[in-house]
Structure 1
Amino acid sequence: MMNRRSTLMLLSGSVVAPNVAFAATPREIIWDDLIPPGVPYSEIIGEGEMNQTNDTWNPIYDANGIKLNEELNGAYIKMPGFIIPFDISAEGVTEFMLVPYVGACIHVPPPPANQLVMVKAANPWPGDQLWDAVWVTGVMRIQLQSTDLGQTGYTITADEMEVYVW
């Protein structure tokens, strides 16, 4: 016969267990998933303007460029991308921007905010692997923030990273 305390402990364990099991398996997402449902990619990119003096092109994004997918806020995800380092040391990179393609934010105008992710990694990524595509696994949050390279719409606290092989 179970007493009240044993019954409550058993029930509380059954409520917690599914969340723990769910957290162990990340939801694999792609860059299109960062755009809210119903907003086509073609509607987040504006025409832009050419700065003749500095020989640069500045994108002009409409309101769709900062619309974020609320379903991803707090989600445990795994997504591929490329690293633009912010904090690099002898051990490697721990803070970086995850971008959808090589050269984003460096050689071309930055993608819109809903296509850029700030990452804080638990373990440094080796500095000699900065050109490799990576898988980043961790908790994603919605957070618009400005950097010198562009405005980001998401953050990930990464607990795991690995080379992306396709």
Structure 2
Amino acid sequence: MKHLVFNRRAALRIAAASAITFLMRDYPALAADTPRDLLWEDLLPEIDSPSQSSGMSTPLLDHSAPPPEQSITGKDVVHELAGTRIRIPGYIIPLDYNGEGVKELILVPYVGACIHVPPPPPNQLILVRIAQSYNPREMFEPVYVTGILGILEEETDLAEVGYSLEAEAITPYE
């Protein structure tokens, strides 16, 4: 009969395997090589309202104003997306351009957002940080940003932001 040897090294291997299994179950985006493609409306939380339950589509900005207990604000975010590796298109508003590139920017859903008053709501703005400077080809260049999405309540000089993104890559939109 063979004896099982249980030592510290075996315990660490079991703990590491368990942790990886747990993370991959709760954060499937970490296991995927390809990022999840998101659209800006994916960053808006869902609400239970009469128009949604009847099968009618709800516009991004619903001016019919549902009752207060069913309404959402621009500060409401989709917490389930935190930790997800995503790719999202948008336009960049540089926050720290130094002549060589930008390492911090706000990603916005449409041209001119944050330049005109008022800015989009926080759940439609993403504060992006990238390790390697990105040098935009032109102002208001459409791009894809890929990275890990986070929840962030921060006020910049331009606007209040609801999401953050640790960017792995910024590529031209094609």
TM-score computed with the length of structure 2 as normaliser? 0.71
> Partner of 1:67 in structure 2?
76
In 2, Cα distance between equivalents of 1:63 and 1:151: 16
- SS across alignment from 2:73: helix
Of 14, 20, 23, 1:16 maps to 20
> Partner of 1:34 in structure 2?
43
- The alignment-based identity, stated in percent, is 37
Of 146, 155, 158, 2:167 maps to 158
Residues 1-12 of structure 1: pairs in structure 2 closer than 5 A: 9=13, 12=16
Letter of the structure 2 residue corresponding to residue 139 of structure 1: I
In 1, Cα distance between equivalents of 2:63 and 2:153: 16
Assess, with a 3 A threshold, how the Cα gap between structure 1 residues 34 and 90 changes in structure 2: closer, same or farther. same
In 2, Cα distance between equivalents of 1:123 and 1:15: 30
In 2, Cα distance between equivalents of 1:101 and 1:108: 14
What 5-or-longer segments of structure 2 have no aligned partner?
49-57, 66-70
CA contact (8 A) 1:44 1:65 kept: no
Moved beyond 6 Å, runs of 4+? 5-8
| Residues 83-104 of structure 1: CA deviation (Å, up to 9, x unaligned) | 0010112321110100000100
Question: How many residue pairs align between the two structures?
Answer: 150
TM-score computed with the length of structure 1 as normaliser? 0.75
In 2, Cα distance between equivalents of 1:93 and 1:45: 40
Residues 40-79 of structure 1: pairs in structure 2 closer than 5 A: 41-43=60-62, 64-79=73-88
CA contact (8 A) 2:30 2:85 kept: no
> Partner of 1:56 in structure 2?
none
Of 126, 129, 133, 2:142 maps to 133
> Partner of 2:129 in structure 1?
120
Of 96, 106, 130, 1:87 maps to 96
TM-aligned CA deviation for residue 3 of structure 1: 5.6
> Partner of 2:105 in structure 1?
96
> Partner of 1:146 in structure 2?
155
Q: Whose strand fraction is larger, Structure 1's or Structure 2's?
A: 1
CA contact (8 A) 1:45 1:65 kept: no
